[in-house]
Amino acid sequence: MGKIDEGEHADTAPATEVVHLGRDPFAQHGFVNTPVYRGSTVLYPTLASIEVKTQPYTYGRRGTPTVRALESALTSLAGGADTKLTASGYQAVTTALLAFAQSGDHILMVDTVYQPTRQFCDHLLKRLGVETEYYDPLLGADVAKLFRPNTRLVYVESPGSQTFEMQDIPAIASVARERNIWVLADNTWASPLYCQPLALGADVVIEAGTKYLVGHADALLGFITSNERAKRHVELAAGNLGVCPGSEETYLGLRGLRTLDVRLARHQETGIRLAQWLKARPEVSRVLHPALSDDPGHALWKRDFKGATGLFSTILNPVPKPALAAFLDGLKLFGMGYSWGGYESLVIPFDCGTYRTATRWSAPGPALRFHAGLESVDDLIADLAAGFDRMKAVAP
């Protein structure tokens, strides 16, 4: 039995690749899965082997066969040149930013970015002498009007955190490329299966593997996939910062990869069904989901993405707090908590009006972010319908 290598990417469907990439059973006695290598010290057989520095593995922090297996699979899926695994999605964000931004630089950060990324810019990057300017996610090529001689990078996240605005990544990447400005993309929502930012012109893709790759809410993991011109910078920063994922977490990433395609298809289907059902409810003012045909970002989503995952938001009509609490507190299948991408459904209230600076966010009523899990959609709808009944009992 041969194995599928990175170079064969173009010939096989993603559903096949997630099953076969990053494992080589006959290199490990026929066992199907790449084992967990635990290790700090790696031995060298001879003095000469220490001196020539050609041994593929040199020290645990610098990679193990388990780590390389997942990195090579992710590189191939994203159509990149190299991948660095990190201990969390947030560490992928900070490592990628530190790989490019330096003292005296100006960087352009989308206003709808994942909020902790914003905190990193406003605190640590600021202290290091990097100025962050936030921009409206709806600026396409017009982002060029914000370029300065010292602009180092443009950071995109599409759709936006919490509010799901779509960005025109190809338009932004094309004006940035003309000026030699790096483009970094947080692609956590779509995963490598549903969007390929490198093909759209980005140089670096950042993802929280914690979400759909791991998929079971049981581990933290992140990854950074770079194109050829960016990969040296990311490798150097990750090496300098001592970034390395845990062995067990890496294995859980590999294990999640095998079912990513089927899980995402189900998250997508259930997410769209829930979004459509919610949209038709009298308690709901708006649904924010780019796969819905009347969403303002739908055309960009359709052009650039191969699918939608299970995360979207809704704005309710105004209700008193006790009525909202009656809706949320009694839900049986939707848990309330941060993070997402696991097999279970979630809901969480949010308010981004307090921290966004380049755009104004205000909602008429409570804003809720939903994650559609892998449960039966009919059971999920029944749970939400019972919630709306409880809400009405409190505030008719």
Ligand X SMILES: *Cc1c(COP(=O)(O)O)cnc(C)c1O
Active site residues: 61, 114, 186, 211
Phi-psi label, residue 371: left if phi above 0, alpha if psi -120 to 50, beta otherwise? beta
**Count of CB atoms within 10 A of residue 333's CB?**
17
For ligand X, give the closer residue by CB, 35 or 307: 307
Q: Any contact of residue 339 with ligand X (CB under 6 A)?
A: yes
Assess 234 for contact with ligand X (CB under 6 A).
Answer: no
The tokens describing 246, both together, are 């845990």
Give the shortest CB-87-to-ligand X separation in angstroms: 8
CB closer to ligand X, 123 vs 332: 123
CB of 208 to ligand X, least distance (A): 3
Residue at 90: amino acid letter: Y
CB of 150 to ligand X, least distance (A): 26
Q: Are 160 and 188 in contact (CB under 8 A)?
A: no
Cβ neighbours of residue 247 closer than 8 Å, sequence gap 6 or more? 36, 37, 38, 39, 64, 66, 67
Q: How far is the CB of 113 from ligand X (least distance, A)?
A: 8
User: Quick check: 137 binds ligand X (CB under 6 A)?
Assistant: no
Q: Shortest approach of ligand X to residue 217 CB, angstroms?
A: 11
Figure out which of the listed residues 18, 21, 93, 200 binds ligand X, where binding follows CB under 6 A: 93
Q: Where are the beta strands (DSSP E) in the chain?
A: 82-86, 106-110, 131-135, 151-157, 182-186, 204-208, 222-226, 284-288, 311-316, 335-336, 346-350, 367-371
Would you say 28 and 34 are in contact if contact means Cβ atoms under 8 Å apart? yes
Measure the CA–CA gap between 250 and 244, rounded to whole angstroms: 10
Residue with Cβ nearer ligand X (252 or 323): 252
Is residue 88 a contact point for ligand X (CB under 6 A)?
yes
Residue range at the interface with ligand X (CB under 6 A); choices 66-74, 89-97, 196-204, 380-388: 89-97
Say whether residue 160 binds ligand X (CB under 6 A): no
Say if CB 210 and CB 88 are below 8 A apart: yes
**Region of 83-91, 173-181, 314-322, 351-359 interacting with ligand X (CB under 6 A):** 83-91
Stretch that binds ligand X, among 39-47, 85-93, 343-351, 384-392 (CB under 6 A): 85-93
Q: Please, what is the minimum distance in Å from the beta carbon of residue 24 to ligand X?
A: 28
- Interface segment toward ligand X; rule CB under 6 A; list 3-11, 87-95, 176-184, 326-334: 87-95
What is residue 295's DSSP assignment?
S
Site for ligand X in 172-231 (CB under 6 A): 186, 188, 208, 210-211, 220, 222
Q: Binding of ligand X at residue 154 (CB under 6 A)?
A: no
250 binds ligand X (CB under 6 A): no
Closest Cα to residue 371, out of 329, 332, 343? 343
Q: Is cis: bond before 159, omega within 30 of 0?
A: yes
Q: Is 393 left (phi over 0), alpha (psi -120 to 50) or beta?
A: alpha
Tokens in use for 253?
A: 């990433």
89 is a site residue for ligand X (CB under 6 A): yes
Residue from 37, 114, 134, 327 in contact with ligand X (CB under 6 A): 114
Convert 57-108 into a string of H (helix), E (strand) and C (coil).
CCEHHHCCHHHHHHHHHHHHHHCCCEEEEECCHHHHHHHHHHHHCCCCCEEE
Using CB under 6 A as the binding rule, whether residue 90 contacts ligand X is answered as: yes
Q: By C-beta, is 34 or 210 nearer to ligand X?
A: 210
Residues of this chain that bind ligand X (CB under 6 A): 88-90, 93, 114, 157, 161, 186, 188, 208, 210-211, 220, 222, 339
